[in-house]
Structure 1
Amino acid sequence: MTTILVTGGTGTLGRLVDERLSAAGHEVRVLSRHARPYAVDLREGGPALDRAVDGADVIVHCASSPRGGDEKAAARLIEAARRAGVPHLLYISIVGVDRVPLRYYREKRSVERMIEESGLGWTVLRATQFHELVRDVLAGAARLPVMLLPAGVGDQPVAVAEVAERLAELAVAGPAGRVPDMGGPEVRSLAEWGRAYLAAVGKRRVILSVPLFGRTYREFRAGGHLAPERAVGHGTFEDFLAKG
């Protein structure tokens, strides 16, 4: 039996990683700010973090926040993992963090570099956007009578359960470095995803594709956040929406 610490273990992804590893018979420690007995704010670290990593064979680092703080959290986690001699740190990142100049993406790429240079055994998996994020973006746009979406931008959403399954496999496979990206089964324009969303929720909206400006938009238009050559996911956006 392997002892595995899952950071962000109560979140959308971490919860499913916990379920799969526990079902496989591993001892799973769930770390989040409110999960007992490993209630830890990774940005602060401290004795509670040391207790959480002590004796762990693997750390699956799922904790992340678009509001910032990922680099500080990763630094604390890496320090604690070094002290405890943890042999494997597995990190989930995002396709395009090295191309799209969003602040959150830049921070995720910085965390990748910190892990690569940590001296620990490590694995990094990048995935495309989860279905949940695409749905939430489209739901927000659909609040208006006219659904405004960036022109020329595609997306490739992937099922979070499939990413969790892949992380569970990687966690017990040993350090592998940067592994192949994981993308959803198909790339479509945001307008096409918008029509699929409207059909699923029974709304009627006019969809207007609006050109934007700036480097971030250019990189999205160029597909910097996509992995069409790694369309390994199976669950479709329509399947996800049908489940409610």
Structure 2
Amino acid sequence: MTTILVTGGTGTLGRLVTERLRADGHEVRVLSRHAQPYAVDLRKGGPGLDAAVAGVDTIVHCASSPGGGDEEAAGHLLTAARNAGVRHLVYISIVGVDRVPFGYYKSKLAVERLIEKSGLGWTVLRTTQFHDLLVRVFGILSKSPVMLLPAGVKDQPIEVAEVADRLAELALGSPAGRVEDMGGPEVRTLDALARAYLAATGRRRLVVNVPLWGKAYRAFRSGGHLTPGRAVGKGTFGGYLGRRGGGRRGV
């Protein structure tokens, strides 16, 4: 039986990874800012982090914050992992972090580089955006009578459960470096995805595509965050919306 630490283990992805690993009979420690007994803020590190990694064979690093601090958090985690003799660190990243000059993507790429140079055995998996993320974004944008979307941008959302399955598989294997990307089964315009969301939630909104500017927008518009050649996901966005039951039951 392997002892595995999942950072961000109470989040959307980390919770599912934890469930899959435990179902396979492995001892799994969940690290997050509030999950006892391993309640640790990775941005601060400290003795709690050392205790969390002690005796751990593999770390699955799912903890992340679009608000910043990922590089600092990774630095603390990697130092603790080296000191504890951790064999393998698995990291979840995003397709296009090396092609799209968006702030959060730059941070994810920087963490990849830290892991590569850490001296630990490592595996990095990049995926496209989760269905859950699109629903959260569309939920915010649809609060207004006019739903504004960046013109000309497509997306390739993937089912988070499928990513969790892959991460659990990688965690139980040997360090593999950068593995093949995972993309959702369909590449669709944000306009089409937003209209599917509105139909599923019974909302009527005027959808307006707005041209933007800047290098990040141009990179998104050119599809730098997509991986059509690795459309390995099975669950579609429409299927996800159907399972949720739409806004009539509280999207």
Short-chain TM bin: over 0.9
Query: How far 1:242 sits from its partner (Å)?
Result: 1.5
Matches within 5 A, 1:215-230: 215-230=215-230
In structure 1, C-alpha distance between the alignment counterparts of 2:106 and 2:146, rounded to whole Å: 32
Aligned length: 244
Aligned: 1:44 with 2:44: yes
- SS for the counterpart of 2:68 is coil
Q: Deviations over 1:63-88 (max 9, x none)?
A: 00000000000000000000011010
Matches within 5 A, 1:1-244: 1-244=1-244
- SS for the counterpart of 1:25 is coil
Query: How far 1:146 sits from its partner (Å)?
Result: 2.1
Runs of 5+ unmatched residues, structure 2: 245-251
Q: Deviations over 1:12-38 (max 9, x none)?
A: 110000000000100000001111111
Query: How far 1:199 sits from its partner (Å)?
Result: 1.0
Query: How far 1:191 sits from its partner (Å)?
Result: 0.5
In structure 2, C-alpha distance between the alignment counterparts of 1:104 and 1:189, rounded to whole Å: 22
Runs of 5+ unmatched residues, structure 1: none
Query: How far 1:213 sits from its partner (Å)?
Result: 0.7
The TM-score with structure 1 as length reference comes to 0.98
Query: How far 1:205 sits from its partner (Å)?
Result: 2.0
AA matched with 1:77: L
In structure 1, C-alpha distance between the alignment counterparts of 2:83 and 2:140, rounded to whole Å: 44
AA matched with 1:185: P
In structure 2, C-alpha distance between the alignment counterparts of 1:243 and 1:35, rounded to whole Å: 29
In structure 2, C-alpha distance between the alignment counterparts of 1:39 and 1:207, rounded to whole Å: 42
In structure 1, C-alpha distance between the alignment counterparts of 2:242 and 2:93, rounded to whole Å: 27
User: Which 4+ stretches in 1 moved above 4 angstroms?
Assistant: none
Root-mean-square deviation (Å):
0.8
Query: How far 1:240 sits from its partner (Å)?
Result: 1.2
- SS for the counterpart of 1:4 is strand
